[in-house]
Chains A and B, each alone.
Chain A
Amino acid sequence: MAETGTLRKTALNATHRAAKAKMVDFGGWDMPVEYSGLIAEHMAVRTGVGLFDVSHMGDIQLRGPNSLAAVQQLCMNDASKLAVGQAQYSAMLYPNGTFVDDVVVHKLSANDYLIVINAGTREKDVQWVRQIIGRMPGAHVNDFSDYYTQLAIQGPRAMETLQKLTPVDLSAIKNYWFVWGQVCGLHNVMIARTGYTGEDGFEIYIPSDVPTSERVWNEVLAAGAEFGMVPCGLGARNTLRLEAGMALYGHEISDTINVLEAGLGRYAKLDKPDFVGREALAEVEASGGPKRKLVGLEMIERGIGRDGYAVFTLEGEKIGAITSGSPAPFLKKNIALAYVPIEHSALETELAVEIRGQKVKARIVPTPFYKKPKKST
């Protein structure tokens, strides 16, 4: 723990502290976990709009005539399917098919890709990218992580909020697409219709200097005030993504869990040109598929299953563990994601979670736990 006391800060750190946010060490970053209260923040995103500082996320640029080949080698999804201005969920894998990290690949231009990576895995990811494609001619790796303040504007009123600050027609940006445009008077801001909450929303990438970051943060909050916008911390970000059944590195996905176990096989394109991890995944598929599976649990009896709690059959056999568990503020249920053997993974199966020495009943339910309502238009 040589780095104790040297937490990294985003450009908005002073803003969070001035707003009396509770701060925590998140993967080496001094980040807000909540401002007004986790439940209020969670509900604002489900019913109105919320603003997140996600500048701790990293950004790796791959550039040059071989950049597509490099992305294809590094990431499991098929980046050749991307148009300029389109993004895709993907992951970088180790040769054994487990996760280096899950990522979002953005195609900036014919020979220019931006890979958005997790905060806690930044250094490892950048090293990995250099190791795998460092010697590939015509593919240059740049770590742009510190260049951007990344803000996530999330919720059913996200578009109305951001539309007040940009001349870009946001309704024309499809889910997982992006454009460059003017935001708060800044030119060439990347505006992506992406997020990690299960709601509609946008992520914007602005210059990471403190005055610009603070000005845009405040202007977005002011624009969203009429829709009940609140600043949101990592606490709500976690419960929102859990309700939406999305994986978090270090929990549902890690270097000991492979893509097929995690239920993310649909993003691994085994028929595209070779990529790191492909062979291992093909072998798992050829041998009848993964032996364990990520399932959604809903507590039936009174109790909250939390990260790391053991999962048992009703007969008392220990079969797995919870990777993320929490009260779900919108659903008002206690939910969890857990790995269990395939033979115990059928929907409606009743299992028991050991909560502080007591076995508490839970049921396997479909994920995502929460799906945003379809638009009535």
Chain B
Amino acid sequence: MAYPANYRYTKEHEWIEVDGAGGTVGITDYAQSSLGDIVFVDLPKVGDKVEAGKIFGSVESVKAVSDLYAPASGTVTAVNEELASAPEKINTDANKTWMLKLDLTSAAEVDGLLSAADYEKFISEETGH
């Protein structure tokens, strides 16, 4: 599994890529692998506000449902509509398959999240490998 160094990560297995005041959000490869075949993604609408650390939606595989947690606060500026009909894209490429684009309240908020190296360390501890 690879975790891009320019992303930041949550302990709930979301990633965020920050570009200026904008942020792009998805779930990690570890998350998609743990969930298995993803069949359903429930996302907010453009214009909705999300709050760092709070639930903004859910992702469901055949066997489980999992909450999605916002890595940072902001306003939704775009939703990946493709996921409504092809949620399995997340399984194929979790790093490139974004869910939301955000207008961030504060880009500095992201500094508190995990780096790629710290995230990898975190999941290796979580799985005991």
Chain A residues in the interface with B (C-beta under 8 A): 22, 33-34, 37-39, 235, 238-239, 302-304, 306, 326-327, 329, 356
Contact = CB atoms under 8 A, between A and B. Distances in A.
Query: Contact size class for B?
Result: 10 to 19
Contacts of A39: 37, 62
Interface in B49-82: 58, 60-63, 65
Contacts of B36: 22, 34, 37-38, 235
Contacts of A327: 39-40, 60, 62
Contact of B62 (A22, A235, A302, A356): A235
A53 B88 CA distance: 27
Contact of A38 (B37, B40, B60): B37
Contacts of A22: 36
Contacts of B37: 37-39, 329
A236 to B, nearest CB: 9
Given A33-B63, A34-B36, 15 more contacts: A37-B37, A37-B91, A38-B36, A235-B36, A235-B63, A238-B63, A302-B40, A304-B39, A304-B65, A326-B62, A327-B62, A329-B37, A329-B62, A356-B58, A356-B65
B63 A304 contact: no
A327 B36 CA distance: 13
A306 B65 contact: yes
A306 B58 CA distance: 14
* Interface of B: prevailing SS: strand
List the 9 closest pairs (A to B, CB-CB), nearest first.
A39-B37, A327-B39, A38-B62, A235-B63, A327-B62, A38-B37, A38-B36, A37-B37, A304-B60
20 contacts: A22-B36, A34-B36, A37-B37, A38-B36, A38-B37, A38-B62, A38-B63, A39-B37, A238-B63, A304-B39, A304-B40, A304-B65, A306-B65, A326-B63, A327-B39, A327-B40, A327-B62, A329-B37, A329-B62, A356-B58
Of residues A37, A238, A239, A303, which shows the largest number of chain B Cβ atoms within 10 Å of its Cβ? A37
A327 B60 CA distance: 10
A213 B62 CA distance: 30
Contacts of A306: 65
Of residues B39, B40, B63, B65, which shows the largest number of chain A Cβ atoms within 10 Å of its Cβ? B63
Contacts of B62: 38-39, 235, 239, 326-327, 329
Contacts of B60: 304, 327
A47 B129 CA distance: 36
Contacts of A34: 36
B56 to A, nearest CB: 13
A62 B65 CA distance: 43
A371 B58 CA distance: 32
Interface string B40-51: 100000000000
A306 B66 CA distance: 12
A139 to B, nearest CB: 41
A38 B36 CA distance: 7
B53 to A, nearest CB: 18
Contacts of B65: 304, 306, 356
A34 B91 CA distance: 15
Nearest to B58: A356
Nearest to A358: B42
A239 to B, nearest CB: 6
Contacts of B91: 37
Contacts of A356: 58, 65
Contacts of A238: 63
A33 B61 CA distance: 13
Nearest to A234: B63
A328 to B, nearest CB: 9
A235 B39 CA distance: 14
Nearest to A329: B62
A20 B60 CA distance: 22
A54 B61 CA distance: 24
A265 B33 CA distance: 42
A46 to B, nearest CB: 14
A85 to B, nearest CB: 37
